[in-house]
């Protein structure tokens, strides 16, 4: 595996870590559902959690894209040899 592939895969790990950190921060800062219902702030609570999970989903999609790209970079060390070029 070449250095470019390692960089892409490292980027994928960082993006997946961003998803995990987002959930940890949200669980720390947002109140429980029962408290949000009691205070009358249930709709903003649901919208905020929707944005959190959207961020997690997009971070995982980006991580998957970076990982697949890194794997392809690792396999194609000599792209011209497969095409018959010197």
Q: Which tens digits make up the pLDDT trace of 25-80?
A: 999 999 999 999 999 999 999 999 999 999 999 999 999 999 999 988 767 655 55
Q: What is the pLDDT of residue 2?
A: 82
Q: Is 71 exposed, middle or buried (0-12, 13-18, 19+ CB in 10 A)?
A: middle
The token pair at 34 is 């029962």
Q: Which tens digits make up the pLDDT trace of 41-51?
A: 999 999 999 99
């Amino acid at each position: 595996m070449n250095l470019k592939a390692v960089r892409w895969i490292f980027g994928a790990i960082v993006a997946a870590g961003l998803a995990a950190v987002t959930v940890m921060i949200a669980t720390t800062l947002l109140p429980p559902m029962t408290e949000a219902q009691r205070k009358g702030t249930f709709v903003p609570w649901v919208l905020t959690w929707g944005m959190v999970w959207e961020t997690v989903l997009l971070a995982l999609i980006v991580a998957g894209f970076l990982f697949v790209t890194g794997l392809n970079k690792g396999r194609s060390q000599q792209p011209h040899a497969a095409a018959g070029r010197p």
